Amino acid sequence: MVSPTLLFFFLLAVQLLQPFHAHSGPAEWPLSPPSLFHHRHHHTHRASVRDYGATGDGMTYDTRAIQAAVDAVAARGGGRVRFPPGNYLTATILLRSGVVLEVEKGARVLGGTKQEDYLPEQPRWYVVLAEDAEDVGITGGGEINGQGGAFVQRRDKRKNVMVSWNATGACEGDECRPRLVGFVGCRNVRLWDIRLIEPAYWCLHLVRSENIWIEDVTILGDFDSPNNDGIDVEDSNNTVITRCHIDTGDDAICPKSSTGPVRNLTATDCWIRTKSSAIKLGSASTFDFTGFRFDNITIVDSHRGLGLQIRDGGNVSDITFSNINIRTRYYDPSWWGRAEPIYVTTCPRDPTSRVGSISDLRFINISAVSENGVFLSGSRGGLVSNLKFLNVNLTFQRWTQYSDGLFDYRPGCQEMVHHRTAGLMMEHISGIEMENVRMKWHNNSLKGWNNPIEFRPSTVNKLSFCDWSSEEI
């Protein structure tokens, strides 16, 4: 007998596989939803948090009922924990192996806004947290909401000032507040058809995990709040992100490496708006990044489009960006980013940092309209090598009133350096191949710009241009 749940997974999987194969390009690792969940967890048990006493009234803490439902389903070998329509205020929920949270349409899980709602250790501050678990997921069409508005100490159109729980000594600085959803040390993770709303800090954090499938996830942060990242893929392997909609203040899809490498990440069919980088590798970059594919992504009114911010000695290789539409503009300079559609940098963060390198990057079928040029900057000992641009349209135009004329090396390095604006700036590069690349300049926007292409002398080698043009329009 095939259980209805298994059948459902199988049908869903077949639907997913088609678009995935249609544009993911080069060889993929063996990863698809059916292989994600281990046969050991049958996913047949179902429980409603209401049956465990949850009120769903949005005012009473339902933590105990929710956790009891999760633990009961886990104890029976796995299944679904349902949240019927309602508002479920909760302290941290610990997700267990084999359990999928099904937050139904009309249901909202509301994260607590008090420090006592979270575990004592700051690295475990999440509204929903899975640790060392396997075959875990979240779905259902509803919403997990971090009530980020309650963490805004002072609203500021430039950048909000956020509450910090640093007074207790749990952490330092101003990045001291809870994330929304975390999978730490997990295997076989699926999030699909779920809305992740208003995180107080980062939204979805995948840490030291592998085999991750994220599909049809909507992330809405606060466009004015700092560190409101979308998806942070940290020290994790084999991740697929597809059909996501991310509209948030800080970096939208952000692979980072702190304790191990990041291997095999594919992101396709996404829409992104952010006041920082739409896609950003780094800046935490102690280990390597390899085998990434970004395809069919629309980036709207963001501060930076495709960014590599390598600062800590990790090496980056084999990364492809294809079929990407980018629109980048200036925002307040307190945010990292200077309207660059493409930004590739390897400078060491500070004088004690190691230098990483970047090689084998491909930009294929890219169309960008931007207020600043492309910035490609290796560093001494941290070369950027073997870049290919194929079918790339770059249109330069100014439409905001923010001032320009700065190269942005942040974080660390030389910080901001005054300079006139070029269409393409290069330093410490070995090997660029450009084929069918068109630069277009709006004639009413040329103030402050100088050359289409600019080099730092004697640091650029092996250039090949084929069918390249630059014209005023």
Ligand X SMILES: *[C@@H]1O[C@H](CO)[C@@H](O)[C@H](O)[C@H]1NC(C)=O
List Cα–Cα distances, 414 to 174, 346, 357, 410, in angstroms: 23, 12, 18, 7
Q: How far is the CB of 82 from ligand X (least distance, A)?
A: 29
Q: Is residue 77 helix, strand or coil?
A: coil
Nearer to ligand X, 91 or 299 (CB): 299
Q: Token digits for 292?
A: 């990434």
Nearer to ligand X, 90 or 285 (CB): 285
> Which string of DSSP letters, residue by residue, matches 316-361?
EEEEEEEEEEEEE----TTSS--SEEEEEE---SSTTS----EEEE
User: In which element (H, E) is residue 67 found?
Assistant: helix 63-75
Nearer to ligand X, 443 or 458 (CB): 443
Q: How far is the CB of 238 from ligand X (least distance, A)?
A: 5
d(CA 26, CA 198): 35
Q: How far is the CB of 363 from ligand X (least distance, A)?
A: 10
- Which residue is listed with tokens 């058809």? 193
Nearer to ligand X, 67 or 188 (CB): 188
Nearer to ligand X, 87 or 238 (CB): 238
Scored b (16 or more CB within 10 A) or e, 360-392 reads ebbbbbbbbbbbbbbbbbbbeebbbbbbbbbbb
Q: How far is the CB of 89 from ligand X (least distance, A)?
A: 25
Nearer to ligand X, 154 or 418 (CB): 154
181 and 204 Cβ atoms separated by less than 8 Å: yes
Nearer to ligand X, 55 or 166 (CB): 166
Nearer to ligand X, 232 or 269 (CB): 269
> Could you count the other beta carbons within 10 Å of the beta carbon of residue 183?
28
Nearer to ligand X, 52 or 449 (CB): 449
Q: How far is the CB of 235 from ligand X (least distance, A)?
A: 6
Q: How far is the CB of 11 from ligand X (least distance, A)?
A: 20
Which of 442, 449, 437, 445 is closest to 473 using CA atoms? 442
Q: What is the DSSP letter of 167?
A: G
> Could you count the other beta carbons within 10 Å of the beta carbon of residue 302?
26
Q: How far is the CB of 419 from ligand X (least distance, A)?
A: 24
Q: How far is the CB of 52 from ligand X (least distance, A)?
A: 33
What residues make contact with ligand X under the rule CB under 6 A?
Answer: 23, 25, 27-29, 164, 166, 172-174, 208-210, 235-238, 260-261, 263-264, 269-271, 287-288, 291, 296, 298, 313-315, 322-323, 357, 364-365, 367, 391, 393, 438, 443-444
Encoded amino acid at 74, one letter: A
Give Cβ neighbours of residue 196 (< 8 Å, ≥ 6 apart): 143, 144, 180, 181, 203, 204, 217, 218, 219, 220
Scored b (16 or more CB within 10 A) or e, 196-228 reads bbbbbbbbbbbbbbbbbbbbbbbbbbbbbbbbb
255 and 283 Cβ atoms separated by less than 8 Å: no
Q: How far is the CB of 127 from ligand X (least distance, A)?
A: 21
What is the torsional sign of CA 93, 272, 265, 177?
Answer: negative
d(CA 243, CA 257): 24
Nearer to ligand X, 225 or 322 (CB): 322
Q: How far is the CB of 28 from ligand X (least distance, A)?
A: 6
d(CA 14, CA 22): 13
Nearer to ligand X, 59 or 473 (CB): 473
Q: How far is the CB of 202 from ligand X (least distance, A)?
A: 16
Q: What is the DSSP letter of 441?
A: E
Nearer to ligand X, 143 or 295 (CB): 295
Q: Is residue 118 helix, strand or coil?
A: coil
Q: How far is the CB of 117 from ligand X (least distance, A)?
A: 19
CA-CA-CA-CA torsion for 101, 102, 105, 109, nearest 10 degrees? -20
